[in-house]
Amino acid sequence: MATYECDKCGMSVNATCGKCDAPLENDSLTLDDGSQVQVSKCPNGHGKIKSPLCCGQDMTCATSKGAA
């Protein structure tokens, strides 16, 4: 499950898909200009969201590729 944390105040949040209740997984999306945006996606293909905001900045998520 993707756990996002605010680097400023330490608040953290977990997210699940509203359609199937599956824990969202951390992923990244490459934009047309080559930059990457961190997102959380439903493992069952129901979509993805941009990382949440806290204290006026994006919350971060530690990536753990290969974890089941």
Alpha helices in 18-57 (DSSP H): none
The length of the chain is: 68
Through-space distance between the first and last CA atoms of the chain, rounded to whole angstroms:
9
What pLDDT sits at residue 63?
54
Say if strands 48-50 and 53-54 run parallel, antiparallel, or are unpaired: unpaired
Find out whether 65 and 27 touch, Cβ atoms under 8 Å: no
What pLDDT sits at residue 12?
93
What pLDDT sits at residue 43?
96
What pLDDT sits at residue 17?
94
Rounded mean pLDDT for each run of 10 residues along the chain, 68 residues in total: 88 92 91 92 94 88 51
40: number of Cβ within 10 Å: 24
* All structural domains of the chain with their residue ranges: 3-52
50, β-bridge pairs = 39
What predicted TM-score, i.e. pTM, was given to this entire model?
0.70
